[in-house]
Structure 1
Amino acid sequence: MRPLRIYLQKMSGGTSLPAHASIFHILLAGVGAGLAIAIGVYLEEALHFNILMAPLGASCFLAFAIPDSPLAQPRNIVLGHMISSCAALFVLQFLGYGALQIALAVALAVMAMLATRTSHAPAAATPLVIFALQPTWDYLVAPVLPGALVVALTALIFNNLRPSVRYPQYW
């Protein structure tokens, strides 16, 4: 019974909530995220091909709200989405569609990102999008790579306009 009690105690948390973000930080994070998505939408319309996918919204949160996070670095944004997409497309092409295949694609994406030091939590959702759409390998060219690049490059330019931020922390 003691191990169960210890296990359950771990779920009670241990610290207080993080400090409130300043209104200035909140506004800048929102403006940066909105700007990245607006650029993506503009480019989609101008170039007539897909650039945006749902997980990029979560990438924007990391890139603009917590740019110091290892998960928010441009390398992680771009390579995380590319690696996860490759894992999903590989599983979809060679093993087909099914519950186990979807789970395997996400598992492979998580392991590959960890192994390559390109962890990016939103990229772990990319295999779910790929299995929902069942695209071809062209999906890497549009929207994955250009979408991830738009977010990463917008974050690179926008975040460095802020005097208190140095972005990226590493390449």
Structure 2
Amino acid sequence: MKLPKAEDLNFNIDNYINQYIPPSQLYRLPYPISRFLGYRKSPERRDVGNLLVCIWSFVGAFCGLAVVVGVFNSSPLIQQDHPPLLIASFGASAILEYNAIRTSLGQPRNCILGHVISATLGVGITKLFKFRSDFESIRWVAGAVSCGVASGAMVMTNTIHPPGGATAVLAATQPNVTDMGWHFVPLILLGSTLMLLVGLIINNIQRQFPVYWWTPDDLRREKDVDVEKLSEGITTTGEKQPDAPDFSSDLYRFTVTADCVTVPDQLSLSREEVKVLEGLRDRLREQRSSRLHRRPSTTLSTGCISMIPTHETHSQSALTEPAIH
């Protein structure tokens, strides 16, 4: 049996779960709200200059970490587990969430799930290692295994977030974190969420964050695209395009029946195009006659091309051009 090529060995979990993920509905919210959730009427293709990135990344990192520390230290429920003053991996997340905000590594799915998956695996693997009596001497092995497993899990779930590796290592190698046990996982979830909320405010003042919430793929189904709205000049975001032409009118429509062909009068047809339209008309005549079990009536005209006028009344023109044979 021939082995597949290395580049063909792929697994994309999104191929299985994206069909259950609803498309973004941010455009339905009032724009002042949706803007701070990352929605833009016209997506921003470029980030601001690096001088502004420097300023906003400083503001974001300071505010994000300050909020996390403030909440952790002011909550008696959290303090009863004696957590570290600040979880170090959040510092690495701050670089991605407030600096490199357009990379996939810094989007909400990666930031939150990458940390949570890594924390869960780190705690679980560490608990397995603790069954050994010499755990303290091999604690470093638990840290290495936790980081490796977390790395693979993030790849398979499309949630790659480099600081998540540090989270998994902390769960195994930091004694006060190890003592927290499973309480470390919700603490990571809370901290990641707080940093994301700060990012939604700071990063959307002059920039755009997030670029997407779940995936960069288009999750809209065919039924989600309203053909009638598109024909009336309404964009897929539900907004009416200014001065959009009415494509549903007869000025932009061919009509082919068994009796006649109707086209807008602003179109000039070549001999070949007329023959194509007449051929379609004749096919319809044959279908009609076969259903009626009789030959086509000889009283019908051999062909006609009715021209629809372009003036605003949209009235039927009396002009009829005989078919070209």
TM-score, structure 1 as length reference: 0.80
Residue 42 of structure 2 corresponds to residue 42 of structure 1: no
What is aligned with 2:99? 65
Per the alignment, in what secondary structure is the counterpart of residue 87 of structure 2? coil
Distance 2:118 2:88 in 1: 14
What is aligned with 1:169? 212
What is aligned with 2:29? none
Distance 1:113 1:120 in 2: 7
What is aligned with 2:110? 76
Residue among 188, 191, 215 paired with 1:147: 191
Give, in angstroms, the shift of residue 44 of structure 1.
2.1
Q: Deviation per CA, 1:46-76: give whole Å up to 9, x if none.
A: 3232584110011011001110011101111
On the 8 A contact 1:67/1:73 being kept in 2, the answer is: yes
What is aligned with 1:112? 153
Which has the larger share of helix?
1
Paired residue type of 2:212: Q
Paired residue type of 1:56: F
Q: Which has the higher contact order (CA 8 A, sep 6+)?
A: 1
On the 8 A contact 1:74/1:168 being kept in 2, the answer is: no
The alignment-based identity, stated in percent, is: 27
Per the alignment, in what secondary structure is the counterpart of residue 52 of structure 2? helix
On the 8 A contact 1:84/1:106 being kept in 2, the answer is: yes
4+ residue stretches of structure 1 with deviation over 4 A?
none
* Aligned positions, number: 149
Residue 93 of structure 2 corresponds to residue 93 of structure 1: no
On the 8 A contact 2:59/2:202 being kept in 1, the answer is: no
The aligned runs of 1:10-25 (5 Å cut-off) are 22-25=50-53
Which has the larger share of strand?
2
Distance 1:138 1:91 in 2: 15
TM-score, structure 2 as length reference: 0.43
Q: Deviation per CA, 1:100-153: give whole Å up to 9, x if none.
A: 3221111100000111111000111112211222131111122x1111111112
CA RMSD between the two structures: 1.7
Residue among 154, 171, 196 paired with 1:130: 171
Per the alignment, in what secondary structure is the counterpart of residue 141 of structure 1? helix
Paired residue type of 1:42: G
Paired residue type of 1:150: L
Structure 1's unaligned 5+ residue stretches are 1-20
Residue 70 of structure 2 corresponds to residue 27 of structure 1: no
Residue 162 of structure 2 corresponds to residue 121 of structure 1: yes
Structure 2's unaligned 5+ residue stretches are 1-48, 215-325
